[in-house]
Chain A
C-alpha cells in the first residue's frame, strides 16, 4: 500500500502517516490483546484492582497472599489490552456537495481515507458508514488491506445524495455496532444540535469515544457578498430570495450560535467536537486521534 492510485489517499499522505499512530484517548473493546486499554477485565499483566470473591468466581484468580495474611478471599483483577474498532460515519447528503475550491464531501472523503488508513495500518479495525437520510453503504469493521481498498473504492464512487439527518443515521446505525470503540462522525451537522446529541446518547452509554468533525466551507461560515440572490437549498431545492449583503451579519451570528450550541453540548456530554473548515488541511484533524 505504499504506492496508491486512489483519489482520496495520496502517496504523500501515506508517507506522512508512517509516523502517526492511531490512538484515540478512549478504552477500546477488542478481541485481540493489543495496545489499547479495555474496560474488560481478564488475563493480563496489568493489575487493576481487588475484588471480594463471590460464588462462581474462578478460584484460580484468588490472591493467596491476601488470603494467607487476612484470611479473606480476594480476587485480583487485571486490565485487558485489546485491539481498537473505529467506526467512521460519513455524511454524504446533498449539502455536503457545497464548497467552492473543494466540496465538503471531498474534504470529508480525504479525511476519512486517511483516518481509515491510519487505523488499519495499526492493525485496528475500521468500519465505515456512508449515509444521507438512510445508510447508503456500510462496511463492517475490518483491518485488512482488502477491506481498506473496498473503503477507498466506495469513497471514490460516493456522491452527494439526498437530504441528511445525522440523528436518524446514528439511530439506525447503533444496532450494527457490536463492540464499542471510537465513533467518528464527519458531517456538516445541519441538524438540531439537541437531536444529534440525543441520537448519540446510546453510544455514550456504551462508552463509545465520540469525535464529531463539523465540516464547513468558509463560504458557509461567512456569507459571501453576492447581493440579491435566490438561495436554493441543495437538499430540499427550496428557494428564497434574500440580500446576502444585508443578512450577512445575522447569518454569521446564527452560524456561530449553532456551532456554540454544538460545542456546549459536546463539552457537557464529554464528546470531542471540532469544526473542520475546508480551507484548512485535513491532517490537522488527526491531531485529536493520534499520538
Chain B
C-alpha cells in the first residue's frame, strides 16, 4: 500500500503537528508567576500526585498531537493506493479484464451465479476509467475470445457486452487467455493491467503457470464461495463400447461427490424406452460407480443418458453417451496364404454377428472400413494404414508370409527395433516327422475367460506340422500360446487397438487345429474380447466437450450441402467442409451446449456425437488466488471497487475527518478525566 498527497504543496503544514507539543512545553514552562508565602505544601502535593498527573498529561499531549496531524492530513488530501502501484496515477490506464466464463462459473452463490458476479466486478472496473484510458474484455473459455480485437475506448459497449454475456459449459484455456491479453497490451502506452475475475477453480488454476511481462500488472479478483458443494456425473461409458445387437451392454456411470459431507441421491438412466434408477450413497469427497444393463435389439446409433437430481450446479448433473450398435462386425480377410484364410473365413461365416469379406492388398490403404482385419500371409503391404487402424482401436490378425522381415511384424506391434535380429526373415518351417503341440502360457488373458468354466473344450488343441520361425517374444506376458518347444504361436499386443500375431498355420497341410471343437469359440472370443479396449472404433461416435467442433469423416466424397448437424431439438449447427491429408471432412462450428448431436447425410442419420460437461469443471473447490496461475507480483483484491481504488486511489479525507472528530471527543473525555482525578 502506498499513500500520496494530492495537495503536496501544503506539506510545510506538517510543521503544525508540532504546535501542541510546543504549546505543551511552553505553556507549562512559563506560566504567570504567582508569589506565594510558602510552596512547601504545593511541593508535597506535586510529589504525591505527579506520578498520576504525568500520564494524563502525556495522553493529552499525544491526543492533541494526533489531532493536529490528522487535521493537517485532511488538508493534504492523501490518497491510499492498495497494491503499491501509486506511480501510475497520472498515466494512461490500459486494462484487460479476463472474465472467467467457464462452466464452474454457472454455480449459483446466493442470489446470482458466479459469472454474473464476475461481470458486475468487471463492469465496476470499467466504470472508473477515464477518457484517456483503454480497455478490453476477454472471455475465458475453451477458445478465449475478446470483445474488441484490440484495446478500445468504448467502455459503454464493453459494459453492455458484460451485461448480455452468458456463461458457457466449457473448460477454460487459461494460457491462451493470458497470451491474448499480453498481446493486446504489448504495444500500448501507460499502465498495463490484467484483471482476472474468476472463481479460481482448483482443478483448472492450481497448475497453470502464466508468464506475464514485467511491465504488466496482474490483479486477481475472486468471486464465489470456496466451499461450494457439488455432485456430478463424471463418467459414462458402456461395455462393450460398440456392442452388437442382442448383446448385453453394461453402462458404467461414475458419480463424484465434491463436498465434505456424505450425500445420497438418485441416478436415472435412460436408453431407448428403458428407464432405470439407482439410489446411491456417496462418501465425502468420494466416488461411486453405478452399473445399468441393457440389451439392444437392433442395430443403430442410440442415445443413452444418465442424470442426477438437479442441484445448485446443474450443468454436470447429466451426461450423454452415443452407443453405436452393429448388427454384425465387418471382417476383412487378406487371403495371400489361402489355407489359413480359408479356415478363418469358414469359421467366422458360421457366426451370426460376423460378416466376412475377402480383401486385397489395395484395400489396405487410407482409412480401412473394416472392424477386424485378418491378414493371412501378410507381406508388409499397407503397414501404415494398418498401424493407423490399430491406433484407432481396430483389431488386426497378422500371420506374416514366408520371407517377410521380422521388423515389419514388429512395426505393426509398435516396436521400431533396428537390431540385427529385426532384420531376420520370417521363415515357414514344415516337417512331417517333427510335429508340435500348443501350450497356453497366459491363461489369465480374457481370451481364455470363457474356457475357464471347465467345459472341457481346449482352445489351443491340435497338431502342427508347420509353423513360422518366430524368435522368442518379449515381453513374455504378451505371448498367449506357445509351441511345446517355446516358439510363440499366438502373441497379443494391445495398445489402442489389438494386434494378434498368428503363428498357427491352418489347413490340412499344416495342422489339425481347425478341426478341433475349441477352434471356433477361440477365434470368436479373440475378436469379441478385443472390442473392450474402451477406444472408439468410429470417429462419428466420439465424445466432445462444449466449445469443441464436431467432425465427421465420410467414406465417399460428399458436398457440404449433403451434411448437416442437429441437436436434440432439431436446431442445426453450421458445418463446413475441411481438407486434411488430401481427404475432405466436415467440421461444425463450436458446439455451445451439452447434449446429443446427430449427423445427417441427405436427411438420413450418418453418425452421432455427444457433447458432455467437462469433468474438470465439476470440482468447484477453489484455490487461493495467490496460488492460482502463478504469476509474478500479482495483486489479490476483493472486488472491482478495489481495482478502481488501486488505480485511482482511495481518498482518505472523509476517514480522517471521522478520526479527527473521534480524537477531539477522546481528548475532551481525557481532559475531563484528568480534571476529575
Q: Do A and B bind each other?
A: yes
Smallest CB separation, B48 vs chain A (Å): 7
Partner of A247 from the list B34, B37, B45 (CB cut-off 8 Å) is B45
Residue B669 interfacial (CB < 8 Å)? no
**Residues 9-56 of B contacting A (Cβ, < 8 Å):** 27-46, 48-49, 53
Q: Which residue of B lies closest to A253 (CB)?
A: B45
Q: Which residue of A lies closest to B43 (CB)?
A: A240
Q: Which residue of B lies closest to A229 (CB)?
A: B34
Residues of chain A lying within 8 A (CB to CB) of residue B33: 229-230, 232, 239
Chain B contact residues: helix, strand, loop or mixed: helix
Cβ of A247 and Cβ of B42 under 8 Å apart?
A: yes
Interface size band for A? 20 to 34
Smallest CB separation, B4 vs chain A (Å): 41
Q: How many residues of B contact A (CB 8 A)?
A: 25
Q: Which residue of A lies closest to B677 (CB)?
A: A246
Cβ of A250 and Cβ of B38 under 8 Å apart?
A: no
Cβ of B37 and Cβ of A229 under 8 Å apart?
A: no
Cβ of A250 and Cβ of B34 under 8 Å apart?
A: no
Residue B675 interfacial (CB < 8 Å)? yes
Partner of B31 from the list A188, A229, A245, A246 (CB cut-off 8 Å) is A229
Which among A226, A228, A242, A250 has the highest number of chain B CB atoms within 10 Å?
A: A242
Residues of chain A lying within 8 A (CB to CB) of residue B29: 241
Given contacts A230-B30, A232-B33, contact A240 B40 (CB under 8 A): no
Residues of chain A lying within 8 A (CB to CB) of residue B37: 95-98, 104, 188, 190, 217, 220, 233-235
Q: Which residue of A lies closest to B28 (CB)?
A: A241
Residues of chain B lying within 8 A (CB to CB) of residue A244: 34
Residues of chain B lying within 8 A (CB to CB) of residue A229: 31-34
Cβ of B41 and Cβ of A258 under 8 Å apart?
A: yes
For the complex, give the distance between the alpha carbons of A251 and B48 in Å.
Answer: 11
Residues of chain B lying within 8 A (CB to CB) of residue A228: 27-28, 31
What is the number of contacts between chain A and chain B, taking CB atoms within 8 Å? 83
Smallest CB separation, B7 vs chain A (Å): 36
Residues of chain B lying within 8 A (CB to CB) of residue A188: 37-38
Cβ of A251 and Cβ of B30 under 8 Å apart?
A: no
Smallest CB separation, A246 vs chain B (Å): 7
For the complex, give the distance between the alpha carbons of A246 and B56 in Å.
Answer: 12
Cβ of A190 and Cβ of B31 under 8 Å apart?
A: no
Residue A231 interfacial (CB < 8 Å)? yes
Residue A194 interfacial (CB < 8 Å)? no
Cβ of B675 and Cβ of A240 under 8 Å apart?
A: no
**Residues 238-264 of A contacting B (Cβ, < 8 Å):** 238-242, 244-247, 250-251, 254-255, 258
**Residues 147-162 of A contacting B (Cβ, < 8 Å):** none
Cβ of A254 and Cβ of B45 under 8 Å apart?
A: yes
Smallest CB separation, B28 vs chain A (Å): 6
Interface string of A187-204 (1 = CB under 8 A from B): 010100000000000000
For the complex, give the distance between the alpha carbons of A95 and B33 in Å.
Answer: 16
For the complex, give the distance between the alpha carbons of A233 and B33 in Å.
Answer: 10
For the complex, give the distance between the alpha carbons of A258 and B45 in Å.
Answer: 13
Cβ of A255 and Cβ of B36 under 8 Å apart?
A: no
Interface string of A89-102 (1 = CB under 8 A from B): 00000011110000
**Residues 172-209 of B contacting A (Cβ, < 8 Å):** none
For the complex, give the distance between the alpha carbons of A250 and B29 in Å.
Answer: 22
Residues of chain A lying within 8 A (CB to CB) of residue B41: 251, 254-255, 258
- Taking A232-B34, A242-B46, A254-B44 as known contacts, 15 extra A-B pairs with beta carbons closer than 8 A to each other, sorted by chain A number, are A188-B38, A190-B38, A226-B34, A229-B31, A231-B39, A231-B42, A233-B37, A233-B39, A239-B33, A239-B39, A240-B42, A244-B34, A247-B49, A251-B42, A258-B41
25 pairs, A vs B, C-beta closer than 8 Å: A97-B37, A98-B37, A190-B37, A190-B40, A217-B37, A229-B32, A229-B34, A230-B30, A230-B32, A231-B34, A232-B34, A232-B39, A233-B36, A233-B38, A233-B40, A234-B38, A238-B39, A241-B29, A246-B53, A246-B675, A247-B42, A251-B42, A254-B41, A255-B41, A258-B41
Q: State the 5 A-B residue pairs at the shortest beta-carbon distance, nearest first.
A: A98-B37, A95-B37, A229-B34, A190-B38, A228-B31
